Amino acid sequence: MPPPFELFAACSPGLEPLLAAELQALGTTPRPLRGGVAFAGDVDTAMRACLWLGTASHVLLRLAEFPCRALGELQRKASLLPWRDWLRAKVPVDVHATSRGSRVYHTGAIAERIGNALTAVFGRAPAAASAGAPAARVHVRFAGDVCTISLDATSEPLHRRGYRLDGAKAPLREDLAHALVLAGGMPADTAVLDPFCGAGTIAIEAAARALGLAPGRLRAPALEHLALFDDATWQRVRSAAGPAPTPAAAPPIAAADRDAGAITAARQNAERAGVAAAIAFSVGAFTAHPWLQPGGAPAAGLLATNPPFGRRVADGKQLVPLYQSLGHRTAALGAGWRLALLAHDVRLARRTALPLRAAWTTRHGGLSVTALTAPLGAVSTS
Ligand SMILES: C[S@@+](CC[C@H](N)C(=O)[O-])C[C@H]1O[C@@H](n2cnc3c(N)ncnc32)[C@H](O)[C@@H]1O
């Protein structure tokens, strides 16, 4: 087993506190930074992070850090690194370079020099990465005169859970859906309702959490494409229980949308995710959902949702009645309920007249989006 690594879990900027809490639950000592959280651990820790983190997009293993002022120096120093301990000779390599405030600034040339170093070590040029095929992603970062080389623990981002093949309109990325559920601040065994569920992402993430299922359960084994992979460790990591206790029985989880096609896609996604039996899907306007009628909902729960939001001001104006109505309908939920609402236009979301507080803000599909939370039940919706 190699010595402990410096590890870095990357996330959408804004999600760092949630990611740090997830890493703490995994037994690590997290250090939040911008765009992610640093922690230390071995291959076992990296595998557990890839399997269990719901809000991370990548897990990086820091391999080397050295002073470097020129491309020739980079190639020479990189050729001395123990690449055979890290990379499999036949797996394609994708080098991603960044540079800030450094004399070595040409990112294309940096990638080329790393390629030359790998050719020297393996006796042939690394195969180029192609779409859809697993590749080892080497990250080379220059900051001033310091070069840091890291390796991605997975060959594709962690938010690609593998269950969402059927698109609906504007599907929410899985890590953001997970972060929205966590921002709700309710225990895993709480009832959840998403009355604007689209492809079902929020309900699927909530159901998996309630059932104690790892977010990365459908993905290829972490580190499988690297020489660092060790099947015995992976089997042990796979069979160990997760960081949260699994509730005895799944709580009620409901997902609805007025678009029948979206519900068909959401059901198929939930089946692939292995959580379809835990979610009650229905087609209909949110105003007709049984839980949003007086006395119709469980005593406590989380309304986690991503209602339609307008990209243009005119769209937003048309949506005012929907948000006002959502605010009124949520008054039908008991005081044991909370709201977690993902909004692009916070002023539009405030038309719910609920006491919303921002939990996090990040970017999604080129837009700024904010997770807003509020207690429900005995609140004024005047
Ligand atoms: C932004 S999308 C939700 C995306 C979803 N979070 C996902 O991951 O795919 C909003 C959804 O609200 C639905 N919708 C719009 N107006 C509705 C209404 N009055 N009642 C119920 N659903 C509605 C749309 O059909 C759309 O699927």
- Give the CATH number, domain containing residue 342: 3.40.50.150
Q: 132 and 183: one domain?
A: no
Q: Can you tell me the distance from the alpha carbon of 16 to that of 37, in angstroms, rounded to the nearest whole number?
A: 6
257 lines ligand 1 (CB under 6 A): yes
| φ, ψ for residue 309, nearest 5 deg | -135, 140
Q: 145 and 181: one domain?
A: no
Ranges assigned E (strand) in the chain? 5-10, 31-33, 36-41, 58-67, 93-100, 136-143, 146-152, 191-194, 253-257, 279-283, 300-305, 336-343, 357-364, 367-375
pLDDT of residue 380: 46
Written as six digits, the tokens of 32 are 């939040």
Q: 280 and 370: one domain?
A: yes
The arithmetic mean of pLDDT across residues 65-94, rounded, is 96
pLDDT of residue 312: 63
Give the CATH number for residue 125. Answer: 3.30.2130.30
Q: 202 and 112: one domain?
A: no
Comparing CA positions, the residue from 75, 73, 229, 79 lying closest to residue 151 is: 229
Q: 206 and 145: one domain?
A: no
Question: Which domain, by its residues, includes 113?
Answer: 5-152
175 lines ligand 1 (CB under 6 A): no
Q: Does 303 reside within a domain?
A: yes
Would strands 253-257 and 136-143 be described as parallel, antiparallel, or unpaired? Answer: unpaired
Q: How would you label 233-250 residue by residue, b for 16+ Cβ within 10 Å and e otherwise?
A: bbeebeeeebbeeeeeeb
205 lines ligand 1 (CB under 6 A): no
Q: 273 and 303: one domain?
A: yes
Q: How far is the CA of 310 from the centre of ligand 1 (A)?
A: 12
Q: Can you tell me the distance from the alpha carbon of 176 to that of 359, in angstroms, rounded to the nearest whole number?
A: 12
The arithmetic mean of pLDDT across residues 5-31, rounded, is 97
pLDDT of residue 168: 55
Closest residue by Cα to atom 3, ligand 1, is 198
The atom of ligand 1 lying closest to the CA of 171 is 9
Q: Does 300 reside within a domain?
A: yes
Q: 88 and 185: one domain?
A: no
288 lines ligand 1 (CB under 6 A): no
User: 113-123, pLDDT tens digit by residue?
Assistant: 999 999 999 99
Number of domains making up the chain: 2
User: 238-280, pLDDT tens digit by residue?
Assistant: 999 887 656 667 799 999 999 999 999 999 999 999 999 999 9
Q: How far is the CA of 249 from the centre of ligand 1 (A)?
A: 28
Q: 275 and 336: one domain?
A: yes
Closest residue by Cα to atom 1, ligand 1, is 308
Q: 208 and 275: one domain?
A: yes
DSSP structural state of residue 159? T
Q: 336 and 204: one domain?
A: yes
Question: Above pLDDT 70, what percent of the chain?
Answer: 94
Q: Kindly report the CA angle at 25 between 21 and 30, in degrees rounded to 5?
A: 55
If pLDDT is split at 50, 70 and 90, which confidence band does 382 have? very low
Q: 139 and 187: one domain?
A: no
Q: Does 181 reside within a domain?
A: yes
308 lines ligand 1 (CB under 6 A): yes
Q: 185 and 54: one domain?
A: no
Show the DSSP H helices in 253-319 as ranges: 260-273, 313-318
171 lines ligand 1 (CB under 6 A): yes
Closest residue by Cα to atom 18, ligand 1, is 285
Half-sphere exposure of 120 (CA within 13 A, CB side): 14
360 lines ligand 1 (CB under 6 A): no
pTM of the predicted protein model = 0.94
pLDDT of residue 242: 80
